[in-house]
Chains A and B, each alone.
Chain A
Amino acid sequence: MHDISTHPVAHHAPPETFIRKYIFSLDHKVIGKQYYGLALVAVFIGMGLSWLMRLHLGWTNMSIPGLELLSKNGAPGGIMTPEYYLQLMTMHGTIMVFFVLTTAPFAAFGNFFLPIQVGAEDMPFPRFNMMSFWVTFVAFLVLMASFFAGDGPSLAGWTQYAPLSAVGAVAGPGQGLGEVLWASSIAIFCIGQLLGSLNFITTTLDMRTRGMSMMRLPLSAWAWFITSVMGLTAFAVLMPACILLILDHVAGTSFFVPGGLVLNDQLQPHSGGSTLLWQHLFWFFGHPEVYIAIIPGMGIVSHVLIANMRRPMLSHRVLIYSMAALGVLSYMVYGHHMFVSGMNPLSSLAFSFPTLIITIPSTIVVLIWIGSLYGSKLRINTASLFALGFISMFVSGGVSGFFLAQPSIDIILHATYFVVGHFHLVMAVAAIFGIFAGTYFWFPKMFGRMMNETLGKIHFWFSFVGAYCIFMPFHYLGIAGNVRRYQAFVDDFMQPLIPVHKFITVAALVTGAAQLIFLYNLIHSRWWGEPAPLNPWEATSLEWSTPTSPPPFDNFGGKHPVVYHDPYQYGVESSTGDYVMQDSPEKVQSALPEEA
């Protein structure tokens, strides 16, 4: 070797200064916590927005106290204007999908635990990792800025269909500056996620410790790996789409705006653009995005359940293959969002079948979960309650997919509250239950303290029952033809449905308020919680083998664990009890028969 010597790739000296330690930190654990914090801020903002929307929907044109302070234009006398409702709706969707459902289960937990679960001391490219968070943070600031810019944020919904999103201010308030800020924010966000995915994939492929074969990775690690591969492809498509959208705005190009459009009696200076082009580009990202939000939840929930069922899943491999199948199929089904978009009806059918097929891997995952409950020794605690709640929600939201997968039925359900109920249950609530399960399960490792179980259970009961009270009625509304994205229900046939909306609003307020219990529990336990043992759940995977909680700077205190077992050796006879750690060389007799 020569003077061109090297340093271990993932190794960087422990930081001294406060800034390097907590702000511009290279440590994947700190970055994970930063992501979690960002998601926490975002989720409460998003929830606040949904409260305002629900109040307005239940009691339209009621003066909401204090709303005028938020936006004088948007709510004169506290009465929400139609455009302000749509602006809040757009921001709710964007914040929740991008800055909560993508960042929390994937970026936050993934950053913290993926390197530990593969037995590495950090991600391979710590600087990229740091950048990925701060880029995401900037994206968030840019999005928030649109609240205060010009006449407010964009009102085009999180799907931002062209030409509404592309023609500019003529289309309505917020479609000028607010729209440009939206597109810029998302383009920046994409960069952050691409950097993150790059790290995740490389970590999984290259940083696995000795003896850690791919099949010995915990299901959570697998979920993050699959998600990062999807993120890499999906966000790489959304970014150029956003850039083209920005160009249509600021440079007068016509990528998405056709000719001959007349707004406010003025002929628009565009020609030839294709509005379907945006929909194709967007949904090619958009549908995988749904699975980017939910697959980490599946992994986390499996991980949590296994530890609390005291047994491995019926089949480790089948779960992995199913999640991978979901990931691959999600690219072939995006067209089911466009059944009535004027797309060739033949391609509607072509998209319909894979969309129906994708229910098979989903069903397998659910059956494996439920089948593994059989004959288990189920421990009930907040984490496992949320994990089980996830399964219930995922099933409830999943079955409505049967309807929307069929173009013929989509004719009557498209763009109704049925769709809203469907994706809120299967994507939003389920994913958030996954986040909760992960939080209650991993909190002791992340902060070295236990969360309060009693508060946790209260939080669970409100969330579980509340979520059903909110989102089940959405399906009924949709079947009755209640159209989504309406700020008021002026149509005769929607009048009788308003009481249902009032009920949903009340449920939403209560359920939302219950989330404050979680916030309190989180903050209180962080500093004053009962000190946590190293392995409170008697779990086996590597994150529970770290010498301290939270783990030291290099995770395993200068050592690198050597892996001798599959990740989930529960229900065995061992010196530690009914489980054996993944890195313990102890020979054990598994309680379960060999798996094919």
Chain B
Amino acid sequence: MNRWKVVAGTAVFLLVCGSSMMLTRNVSAAAEGKVTGTVKLDGTPPHQRPIDMSKEPSCQQQHAGKPVTTENVVAGPNGGLEWVTVYISEGLSAGAASATPSTPQKFDQRGCQYIPHVMAVDVNEHFQVTNSDQTSHNIHPQPKPGGGNHEWNKSQPPGSPPFDIAWTAEEVSIPVKCNIHPWMHGYHTVVKGPHAVTNADGTYTLENVPPGNYTLTAWQETYGTQTQKVTVAAGKPATADFTFKAK
């Protein structure tokens, strides 16, 4: 008899422990809620010019066979639009600053390209700039003059350690370029609260969104911004799809 109790008790105990360990995120998510959706392009994407990297043989070799093109508009086969930043532009209570990821995001320079091409970060979120190439790059972001962010221009020779940096004010979006390789071109989107950048198929997920009514904004470097209202309830994920018209 007692044995049964003990066994059951232990089992329950283990179960609770285990599940609580496994389910922490879900539990919190259940409390928080999230937004998912797809960003599509309506129409044929504009021609993306191939990039001639002959100036930098070490990079050119990395792309042998598959020529690199510009990434101003990157649309998947089903019209999914990549590199679109989606974030909450209105309705976020001042207190609810999103949890920044435990491991800092990487802004890598590989094959004379920025990876990722568009990176969304929170205000004061530290991210790492790394150089995986055999050549020196200079990282030169250009925030709007007079804004809360300050322009800087810093070189990273091959083999030099990654450096850690953050933006101090919201800005959509800061163009980043490398003067040594003028074709290198990316964006830092600096926003408060939950944010995401669409994948190759145009999908995105905003995590940790507290229940409430929000205005979502999607920003695309060529087509600008679109907004729509969305209501997030605890438990079930809200969806918000965007469609940009090809000019």
* Interface residues in chain A, defined as those with a beta carbon under 8 Å from any beta carbon in chain B: 61, 63, 73, 76-77, 79-84, 151, 169, 172-173, 264-266, 488, 490
Contact = CB atoms under 8 A, between A and B. Distances in A.
A488 B179 CA distance: 16
22 contacts: A61-B136, A61-B157, A63-B159, A76-B156, A76-B157, A76-B163, A77-B159, A77-B160, A77-B161, A79-B159, A80-B157, A81-B157, A81-B160, A82-B136, A82-B138, A82-B155, A82-B157, A84-B155, A151-B152, A172-B179, A173-B153, A266-B142
Given A76-B161, A490-B135, A264 B155 contact: no
Which 7 A-B residue pairs are closest in the complex by CB-CB distance? A81-B155, A79-B160, A76-B160, A77-B161, A79-B157, A77-B160, A61-B157
A61 B142 CA distance: 27
Interface in B127-186: 135-136, 138, 140, 142, 151-161, 163, 175, 177, 179-180
Contacts of B175: 265
B156 A81 contact: yes
Contacts of B156: 76, 81
A266 B175 CA distance: 12
A472 to B, nearest CB: 30
B183 to A, nearest CB: 12
Contacts of A151: 152-153
B154 A173 contact: yes
A266 B177 CA distance: 12
- Bin the interface of chain B by size: 20 to 34
A146 B156 CA distance: 22
A591 to B, nearest CB: 65
Contacts of A488: 136
B162 to A, nearest CB: 9
A264 B140 contact: yes
Q: Is the interface of A mostly helix, strand, loop or mixed?
A: loop
A406 to B, nearest CB: 32
A488 B134 CA distance: 13
Given A81-B156, A151-B153, 16 more contacts: A63-B159, A76-B163, A77-B159, A77-B160, A79-B159, A81-B154, A81-B155, A81-B157, A82-B155, A83-B138, A83-B155, A151-B152, A264-B142, A264-B177, A264-B179, A265-B177
A228 to B, nearest CB: 43
Contacts of A77: 159-161
Contacts of B177: 264-265
A76 B162 CA distance: 9
Interface in B162-213: 163, 175, 177, 179-180
Contacts of A169: 151, 153
Contacts of B159: 61, 63, 77, 79
B156 to A, nearest CB: 7
A57 B73 CA distance: 41
A285 B43 CA distance: 63
A184 to B, nearest CB: 22
Contacts of B153: 151, 169, 172-173
A279 to B, nearest CB: 24
Nearest to A81: B155
A43 to B, nearest CB: 29
A356 to B, nearest CB: 39
A63 B157 CA distance: 11
Contacts of B180: 82
Given A61-B159, A79-B159, A73 B138 contact: no
Contacts of B140: 264
Contacts of B142: 264, 266
A73 B136 contact: no
Contacts of B138: 82-83
Contacts of A173: 153-154
Contacts of B155: 81-84
A83 B140 CA distance: 13
Contacts of A266: 142
A341 B116 CA distance: 42
Contacts of A172: 153, 179
Interface in B112-128: none
A78 to B, nearest CB: 9
Nearest to B142: A264
Contacts of B163: 76
B181 to A, nearest CB: 12
A156 to B, nearest CB: 15
Given A151-B153, A264-B177, A81 B161 contact: no
A88 to B, nearest CB: 14
Contacts of A63: 159
Nearest to A72: B163
Nearest to B145: A266
Contacts of B152: 151
Given A61-B158, A76-B160, A264-B142, A81 B136 contact: yes
A81 B136 CA distance: 8
Nearest to B158: A61
Contacts of A264: 140, 142, 177, 179
A82 B156 CA distance: 9
A25 to B, nearest CB: 45
A77 B177 CA distance: 23
A151 B179 CA distance: 17
A264 B138 CA distance: 12
A488 B163 CA distance: 22
Q: Which of B156, B157, B177 has the most CB of A within 10 A?
A: B157
A73 B152 CA distance: 11
Contacts of B135: 490
Nearest to B175: A265
Contacts of B157: 61, 76, 79-82
A63 B177 CA distance: 26
A77 B155 CA distance: 12
A79 B160 CA distance: 6
A83 B154 CA distance: 8
Contacts of A79: 157, 159-160
A229 B59 CA distance: 56
A84 B152 CA distance: 15
Contacts of A265: 175, 177
A79 B175 CA distance: 27
A39 to B, nearest CB: 33
B137 to A, nearest CB: 10
Nearest to A173: B153
A84 B179 CA distance: 16
A80 B157 CA distance: 8
Nearest to A490: B135
A61 to B, nearest CB: 5
A172 B151 CA distance: 11
Nearest to A175: B153
Contacts of A490: 135
B30 to A, nearest CB: 44
Contacts of A80: 157
B77 to A, nearest CB: 31
A66 to B, nearest CB: 16
Contacts of A84: 155
